[in-house]
Amino acid sequence: MTYEQLYKEFHSSKSFQPFIHLDTQPKFAICGLIVTLAVLSSALFAVGSKSSYIKKLFFYTILSVIGSLFAGLTTVFASNSFGVYV
């Protein structure tokens, strides 16, 4: 591809509009961290409850999956706010 083709393609393409702006991502990272800690700590409390083993396993699995999803989102938001764009 020649420079002229690349230049023409660059200027004819649509400008990129981010879904979540970079200036709000640190706020989402902090909120995600709080939610992650709350959900994962409630998963640990669910294990210590006096209910049946199957019920504890079910609640622990659900809460740990939700906590892991929030931990992943928090990692992406935190790394983007430090300038490592994921």
Q: Is the pTM of this model over 0.85?
A: no
- Whether the CB-CB separation of 79 and 22 falls below 8 Å is answered with no
Query: Around Cβ 81, how many Cβ atoms within 10 Å?
Result: 17
Q: Provide CB contacts within 8 A for 73, sequence distance 6+.
A: 28, 32
- Whether the CB-CB separation of 18 and 31 falls below 8 Å is answered with no
DSSP state of 22: G
pLDDT digits (tens, 9 = 90+) for 9-41: 878 877 777 788 888 899 999 999 999 999 999
- Whether the CB-CB separation of 77 and 32 falls below 8 Å is answered with yes
